[in-house]
């Protein structure tokens, strides 16, 4: 990878596997200008996992789409860091089920994973998310 400041060649000075997110974090140093910056390598879910919807359509799994749905469910719509962490947790929950092997993955499974994580996080967020993406679940919850 080239330097983000001068396009010179770089060396990796440190690297770690982030187990929870299945990312590889790397600290890089530029051989030309000595700038230091970080890169993160993560699986390209959009090219390896597809989601099947009830109407029969199949679409790539987009992390950003999940992120936006979580962000919209949070009490304050500017909780970007919380939404990013919750999104990572939901994806790691799905990864535990061998995400790629389950491809195409039913959209309902992703919604269930998101509901489980949001339920532990904040009841209001869980209800907002459920009202938007899984109306039946909200009805069941309200009966109890
Ligand atoms: Zn440089």
Which pLDDT value is given to residue 65?
A: 94
d(CA 42, ligand 1 centre) in Å: 23
Report the predicted TM-score, pTM, of the whole model to 2 decimal places. Answer: 0.74
Q: Between the CA atoms of 46, 64, 57 and 135, what dihedral angle is there, to the nearest 10 degrees?
A: 140
Q: Are 99 and 45 in contact (CB under 8 A)?
A: yes
pLDDT tens digits, residue range 91-104? 888 876 665 666 78
pLDDT tens digits, residue range 32-76? 999 999 999 988 877 778 889 989 999 998 999 999 999 999 988
Which pLDDT value is given to residue 87?
A: 93
d(CA 2, ligand 1 centre) in Å: 8
More confident residue, 112 or 95: 112
Which pLDDT value is given to residue 48?
A: 77
d(CA 10, ligand 1 centre) in Å: 8
d(CA 143, ligand 1 centre) in Å: 60
Give the orientation angle of helix 107-121 with respect to helix 123-133, to 10 degrees. 160
Per domain, the residue ranges of the chain are: 10-41, 45-143
Which pLDDT value is given to residue 138?
A: 42
Count CB atoms within 10 A of the CB of residue 61: 23
120 vs 3: CA distance, rounded Å: 41
Q: Are 5 and 33 in contact (CB under 8 A)?
A: yes
Which pLDDT value is given to residue 144?
A: 39
């Amino acid at each position: 990878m080239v330097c983000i400041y001068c396009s010179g060649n770089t060396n990796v000075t440190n690297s770690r596997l982030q187990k929870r997110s299945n990312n590889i974090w790397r600290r890089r140093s530029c051989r030309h200008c000595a700038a230091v910056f970080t890169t993160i390598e993560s699986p390209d879910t959009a090219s390896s996992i597809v989601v099947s919807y009830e109407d029969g359509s199949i679409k790539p799994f987009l992390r950003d789409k999940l992120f936006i749905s979580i962000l919209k469910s949070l009490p304050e719509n500017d909780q970007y860091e919380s939404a990013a962490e919750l999104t990572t947790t939901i994806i790691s929950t799905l990864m535990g089920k061998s995400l790629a092997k389950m491809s195409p993955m039913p959209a309902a499974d992703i919604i269930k994973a998101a509901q489980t994580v949001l339920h532990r996080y904040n009841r209001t967020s869980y209800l907002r998310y459920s009202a938007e993406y899984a109306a039946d679940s909200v009805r069941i919850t309200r009966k109890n």
